[in-house]
Amino acid sequence: MAPAKKGILERLNAGEVVIGDGGFVFALEKRGYVKAGPWTPEASVQYPDAVRQLHREFLRAGSNVMQTFTFYASDDKLENRGNNLKLTGAQINEAACDLAREVANEGDALVAGGVSQTPSYLSCKSKADVKAIFRKQLDVFIKKNVDFLIAEYFEHVEEAVWAVEVMKETGKPVATSLCIGPKGDMHGVSPGECAVRLVKAGAQIVGVNCHFDPMTCVETVKQMKEGVEKAGLKAHYMVQPLAYHTPDCNCQGFIDLPEFPFGLEPRILTRWDMHKYAREAYNAGIRFIGGCCGFEAYHIRAIAEELAPERGFLPSASEKHGSWGAGLEMHTKPWVRARARRDYWENLKPASGRPQCPSMSVPDSWGVTKGHADLMQQKEATSKEELEQLFDKSKTH
């Protein structure tokens, strides 16, 4: 019988680096298994082989955490705006747990059950209503005995606190990450204050995911850490950013960029950018380091390779990757062989190959958040009339 794996808190308490996985929603959308718009994870039921394979790629790249592919798997989201899947959240969550556990058992990885922000909160439903949605998802995670829980992708700390309060009822370790930047949540609560509220609610690991690029996210977590320490509290810290450069984003993050979601490819970080990110995060005292939308397995491998001295080993996927381009020594062309060195890749300034394109964009800034009429959600599909109103409104922003 295999020895029991160390839990997430045991690893973090020992100062170990825990490497998260990458962005399932975007990766599977590009592969044809997720629909952009609703971004719901029914692929866990409909295309389990695709989900299983992506888990395996991240495991091989060095990930210690297999997050269940349950992003937006609450019943209110699965039924939102005409998204008639004929699948329940419980069915999707159960299938996702089984897939994550199957692959986690192939290596030294833990399974994290995840919940996300809800349409019900945006539509101003009550605290009890929103908590009931989280509790329904968590029932499955407890039944499937996941190793720990993550509340991720929350724009409002108030809703994240509600999620943490429900998650603490389970007795499982709780991690919470907000999709915010240095300016704070969508109601203007600072990162430091957000972290304090989450820790007081019972989260043992706090941080950010999605919406912003790695360095912006690391800076945001630094502010969270400062806030927690100033309040005399203790926590572990996590960061799982975008794999896109977002220097031109406002408070809403990459969703406001005109390229979202189908024109973001020119912004993708290189594997060498990921080395810098991993080192910056580690130096900031963050020990749970992973990725979100845009992250592919080679990005996670770069994190694992950068932090190999601290972890004491390389990931399996490094078998097919020479350190800092060393594999190019075998290339047939001499000028490519000349690139088989660290200083070349560390100092490269990649060109986009798009001479007519700007280096930065002007984000949309509609300025709407919870409580605004435009964010009230519905089961019915968006009508042509509603779309026409939005098309007209977009011309004035």
Does residue 341 sit within a domain?
no
145 is in which domain, residue-wise?
Answer: 8-323+353-393
Residue 329 to residue 165: CA distance in whole angstroms:
54
Q: Which of 209, 175, 301, 194 is nearest to 25 (CA)?
A: 209
User: Is residue 280 in some structural domain?
Assistant: yes
> Is 80 within the bounds of a domain?
yes
In a domain, 117, yes or no: yes
CB atoms near residue 353 (< 10 Å) = 7
- pTM, full prediction: 0.93
Task: Spell 201-222 as b/e; 16+ CB within 10 A means b.
Answer: bebbbbbbbbbbbbbbbbbbbb
Q: Is residue 83 part of a domain?
A: yes
Eight-state DSSP code of residue 170: T
For 136, 376, 387, 390, the CA distances from 379, given in Å and listed in that order, are 19, 11, 16, 18
Question: Cα angle vertex 123, ends 198, 387, to 5°?
Answer: 130
Into how many domains does the chain fold?
Answer: 1
Rounded Cα–Cα distance for residues 134 and 131 (Å): 5
Beta bridge partners of 244: 268
Q: Which residues pair with 94 in a beta bridge?
A: none
Residue set of the binding site for Zn(2+) = 210, 292-293
Question: Does residue 333 belong to any structural domain of this protein?
Answer: no
Residue 140 sits in a domain whose CATH number is 3.20.20.330
Tens digit of pLDDT per residue, the chain (397 long)? 566 899 999 999 999 999 999 999 999 999 999 999 888 999 999 999 999 999 999 999 999 999 999 987 787 767 755 566 678 889 999 999 999 999 999 999 999 999 999 988 988 899 999 999 999 999 999 999 999 999 999 999 999 999 999 999 999 999 999 999 999 999 999 999 999 999 999 999 999 999 999 999 999 999 999 999 999 999 999 999 999 999 999 999 999 999 999 999 999 999 999 999 999 999 999 999 999 999 999 999 999 999 999 999 999 999 999 999 999 999 999 999 999 999 999 999 999 999 999 999 988 876 667 666 666 666 677 778 776 776 677 766 6
Q: Is residue 330 part of a domain?
A: no
Residue 26 lies in a domain: yes
Amino acid code (one letter) for 364: D
List, as residue ranges, the binding site. Answer: 210, 292-293
